[in-house]
Structure 1
C-alpha cells in the first residue's frame, strides 16, 4: 500500500517581492508554474495531483492511494522544489514496502525548495495509532 498527502506553496524565490518589478516577476512565475503543470500531467499519480492559483498564488496539492510504491510522487515533490527554490510544503507518505518505515509515515519537508525526510510522530505507527491490530 502506498498512501500520500501533500501540498506545496510555489515560490520562485524566498526573497521579498519588489513592487517595481511585479509584472516581470509574475510573468516569470507563470512560466515556471506552466512547467510544473506540464510535469504534473506527465506524473499523473493514483489520485489527486493539482496545480492551481488561489488568490494570485500558485499551489500544488497531491494525494493518493495505490497498491504499490510510486517513486514518481516524491520525485515530483523534489522537482517542484528544484524548479522553484523559494517553495515550501509537506508530503506525508506511508509505504508498506519501505523496509525502514513499513509501519508509519515519512514526512518529506520542503523549505526554500530543499527537501529533507523526517519520521512522523503524529500519525505513526499506523497500528495502533490509526488502526487496531489484526485479531485472530
Structure 2
C-alpha cells in the first residue's frame, strides 16, 4: 500500500513578493507545473489552485503500490520554483527500510529532504495493532 498526503506553496524564489506574480514570472512557472500535472494525472488528488494570489499544489492518494511519480513531481516543483515549500507525508509498506514509518518529505528553498514522522511512527503499534496470525 502507498498512501500520501501533502501540499506545496509554489514560490519563484525565497524572496518572492507580489511583483513576481504581477510580471508573469510566477504564472509562467505555474503553467508549466499545470502541464506536468496533466501528464501524470491519475484518479488520485493532484491539483493546483490559486488562493489569495498564491499558487498551491495539493496531493492525496491511496494506491496498491508505490507511485514514484508523486515524489519525483514533488522534487520537480522545487526545481522549477526554488522558493517553494511544503510537506508530503508518505506511507509505503513495501519500502524495506521504512515500511513501518510514516515518512515526511520536506521541500524548503527548492531542496528536498526526508524525515521520519515522529507523531505517527512507528506505524505499528502507533497506528495499527501488530498482526497476529
CA RMSD of aligned residues (A): 1.5
Q: Contact 1:46–1:65 at 8 Å: present in 2 too?
A: no
- For residue 88 of structure 1, what is the aligned residue in structure 2? 85
Aligned residues: 133
Q: Does 1:31 align with 2:25?
A: no
Distance 2:16 2:46 in 1: 28
Q: Contact 2:16–2:83 at 8 Å: present in 1 too?
A: no
Cα gap change, 1:81 to 1:16, in 2 (>3 Å): closer
Q: Which runs of 5+ in 1 are unaligned?
A: none
Distance 1:18 1:8 in 2: 18
Match of 1:75 among 48, 60, 72: 72
Q: Which runs of 5+ in 2 are unaligned?
A: none
Deviation at 1:17, TM superposition (A): 2.4
- For residue 51 of structure 1, what is the aligned residue in structure 2? 48
Cα gap change, 1:41 to 1:113, in 2 (>3 Å): same
- How does the TM-score come out when normalised to structure 1? 0.91
- For residue 15 of structure 2, what is the aligned residue in structure 1? 15
